[in-house]
Structure 1
Amino acid sequence: MVVVIEQEPDAAETGEAPASASRSGSMDAPAATPQGGNSSDEESFEDALTDEQLREKALKQANDAKEEGNKLFRTGQYEDALLQYEVALQIASEVPSPVDVCSMCHGNRAACFLKLNRYKDTVTECTKALELNPSYVKALVRRAEAHEKLENYDEAIADMKKVIELDPANDQARKSIRRLEPIAAEKREKMKEEMISKLKEMGNSLLGRFGMSTDNFKAVKDPNTGSYSISFQQ
């Protein structure tokens, strides 16, 4: 049984602008063009802005787009939310930006893809978020859920173990690991059997030319070392 945790944007992902962006509250007033103004006046104003003011203005636009994405996510409009998060990422990438802005946008895009059952895309976005912020617990949880859906159980377990390293009190991660470990072991055993079967088929095709088959060879495991010895039988 797959347990899917209802996704919500992080508390820090609710669109609240970082402190650096909130200080730009006085930016918009001078931007108004007096009646009768023209585009050259606006260009002159833009030229007069310092690099820091331009950066703060861009960050506010990025956070506004992220907040709009969060609103769309909450109402189930995941495709539209994806577009808003992409807009936020494009704006943020054009100026020096706090890491959390971009990592959260990737994390929230992952949440959208998870809702849309696009699990490979979920893994990709979570990985991008974690490259920017390795301690992003929600991205680890989302990636683990996507890996489980893709039957990548070992990868899902690895992500949940990382969650416990970052958040030792996370009971959801512990339960997921206990549930997934026997499933992962069963999958590994099945893959091993399939591999042995393919090797036998290949061996029989070669040995058949000499009137033999893999049945003429017996593998005996040494209980002390765990290694195998092969003996030939007529």
Structure 2
Amino acid sequence: MVRIEMEETEDEVPSPPKASASTKNATDSSGGASISNVSKDPSDGYETASDGELGDSGDEHQENTDQHSEQVEQIATPSEDEIKEKALDEANNAKIAGNKLFGEGKYEEALLEYDRALNIAPDMPSAVELRSICQANRGACFLKQEKYDDTVKACSKAIELNPAYVKALSRRAEAREKLEHFEEAINDMKKILELDSSNDQAKKAIRRLEPLAEQKREKMKEEMIGKLKEMGNSLLGRFGMNVDNFKAVKDPNTGSYSISFQQ
């Protein structure tokens, strides 16, 4: 009886058809059984992959694996915009935490949260408002702590980011008033009126600050005159004179002054 062994492959193939009787009875010239008449047609299901075909299949499989890995890596890696949006969310959470601490009167702790928000906030247009608010809120913390110079600096940064920020202008004006920078405080209030002509608080502040500014101007003028007199007396004293020997007389027609010497 003749056994016909088939080579197995990685792919599943249909079972070979049974050999015909004429095939079983076929013999070669030496009298042994011959399998030369067995069909090798691919349609019979006997074709097997060659070594070259197996190699190509392996390369294709590796290529597909590499492409798949690359696709997975692209999906897993967040984009730059996604990273910025996440940073913006974290910065906003820090600002909210700072607001809560401010409401509790914990100004130093609130400042830390506002600073953290400013450090986290990404450089993108949608983060400008957040940074401006955090700077203005830092100014509010400094104002509560009576650190007026720091208040002016923080609010100025907020106004640079948002020139129409009324709260920042108001806080800076209040700090400038405390520092007796009345002219600068008035300018802040006038800016508020430019943005909102119906702002009664700004109108009242200007009416209150203008006399203070005038008093300061007069005080500064007197101080300047006093320093000039001291300088003049130190020079005229060498000649036995002082500034009191000179009198300024105003001409009512022209408004000009003439200097006269008196013993």
Is TM more than 0.5 here?
yes
- What is the aligned counterpart of 1:106 among 135, 148, 164? 135
Q: Counterpart in 2 of 1:134? A: 163
Partner of residue 180 from structure 1, selected from 209, 216, 225: 209
1:206 equivalent in structure 2: 235
Aligned to 2:58: none
The reply on whether 1:74 has 2:103 as its aligned counterpart is yes
CA contact (8 A) 1:63 1:88 kept: yes
Which TM-score applies when normalising by structure 1? 0.77
Residue 216, structure 1, aligned to residue 245, structure 2: yes
Deviation for aligned residue 1:225: 4.9
Q: Alpha-carbon deviation of 1:232?
A: 2.4
- Alpha-carbon distance between aligned partners in 2 of 1:194 and 1:69, rounded to the nearest angstrom: 45
Distance 2:146 2:75 in 1: 43
TM-score by length of 2: 0.69
The 3-state SS of whatever aligns with 1:231 is: strand
CA distance in 2, matches of 1:196, 1:224: 25
Q: 1:144 aligned to 167, 173, 179, which one?
A: 173
1:95 aligned residue (104, 123, 129): 123
Deviations 1:126-168 (A, max 9, x none): 1111111110000000000000111111111111111111111
Greater C-alpha radius of gyration = 2
For residues 71 and 46 of structure 1, the distance between their equivalents in structure 2, rounded to whole angstroms, comes to 38
- Kept in 2, the 8 Å contact 1:59–1:97? The answer is no
> What is the Cα-based RMSD across aligned positions, in Å?
1.7
Change (3 A) 1:107 1:211: same
- Identity score, percent: 66
2:182 to 134, 153, 163: 153
For structure 2, the residue ranges without an aligned partner over 5 or more in a row are: 1-72
Which deviations, in whole Å up to 9, do the C-alpha atoms of 1:51-104 show, x marking residues without a partner? Answer: 110010000011010010011111111110000000000111x43243111111
Partner Cα distance (1:62, 1:138) in 2: 21
Alpha carbons of 1:46 and 1:111: their partners in 2 closer, same or farther (altered >3 Å)?
farther
**Higher normalized contact order (CA 8 Å, seq sep 6+, divided by chain length):** 1
